Structure 1
Amino acid sequence: MSGRTPSTRLADTIGARPVSASAVVYPGKVWDVVSEDVDLGRAGTVTREIIRHPGAVGVLALDDEGRVALVHQYRHPVGMTLWELPAGLLDVEGEPPLLAAQRELAEEADLRAGRWDVLLDWVLSPGGSTEAFRCYLARDLSPVPEADRHQRDGEELDMPTEWFDLDEVHTAVLANRLNSPSLVVGVLAAHASRALGWSTVKPADSPWPEHPKLR
């Protein structure tokens, strides 16, 4: 460290530019493609096609032995089966992000957590999508009782959960063996935060202004 005072300018600015026209070009099952005319000031008005996405949450579930719960899921757009964090869309109307994360952890990994924190927030493809992602850190884990477990169907039937040491996953990320963006960012953040005594995590109910619908 140089000892310099951190610049207050080194932070993204939230605030949309004026939109003079907006139309749905393609209504999809999960997200829509929208065309918007945006006033960029001196650059004039430009037309942008945007994927309007509901956003998503993921969970880095860390047990007392320093292991992370990962699910193995096939992703057809890239033709790959990826190791991923338990995660899901914010597609239930009115469901708070924390509740969505708790539901996804239970449904995909049969796990509950006694402690929840926000590990990191980010946007996945800001040049073309509204998708915002919040990654939670879940600790004090326990299994969901058999009688209360989610009955999986569809693609979830072939999504096994396995445990890996956080250091091992971190090494695999840096070796370019893992490609899921939520896993890559979440693991890098968790590995760094753990080295700092988890001083960087935020309360589970922290505001999330980066999500367009939660500002």
Structure 2
Amino acid sequence: VTYGALSVEAGTTVDKEERVVHLGDRTITSLSFPNAKDEVTAAKYERAVKSVLNPTRPLTVNLDRVIANAERYEQQNNVEGISVEPPPIFFSSEPAILVIFVGPAKFEKIDDSSLFFAANTNWDILLDPATSTYYLLADKTWLSTKDIMKGPWTATTTLPEAISKLPATDDWKEVLAAQPAKAGPAPKVFVSDRPAELILTDGKPEVGPIPGTRILYLANSESDVFMVD
């Protein structure tokens, strides 16, 4: 299953007696597939969607629903200081973690050490400037990468000696406890510099019906994901 989002523009005609809105010819203004592995795959998905969408097929929507959504949108926009921009959404059908930085990744030098630590995230991430390598502690597994935002992150059992010499304080308690590095399963790592969401499924996504409705839900995930049949 591949999820995407699209935006369209269309002329409208309102029938107040029937309480419906007739949509005219529709133009796709944006189409995105956040989980596509590369631009080639995303382009293939886009062609597939456009091949089955008929922009001239008559389409009507309930007028009251349109009014309610418009009022809700206006109400959201009027809430000062609250963004209505959707967060980045990452998906994985295998074990994964989401590392969130509060803004661009910021590293500060550790006292009496050659290493730097990530100052604006809750994760234990260290930078060894000698090799320009980042080290992430995920549970009890160490992962490393040369590109903190793009990865890839790979499990490693080879760590800089400086990590084992960090101060024996509460700040580095878990880091020191994970010495020496041991082989273990490496989760997929997603990194974002703004609030984001991670949807995990236990294997291939499976949907199930909600009795008495036309709504389907993602059955093998702890995330609240719904589809209208």
For Structure 1 versus Structure 2, the TM-score category normalised by the shorter chain is under 0.3
Structure 1 or 2, whichever has the larger Rg, is 2
User: Higher relative contact order at CA 8 Å, sep ≥6: structure 1 or structure 2?
Assistant: 1
- Which TM-score applies when normalising by structure 1? 0.23
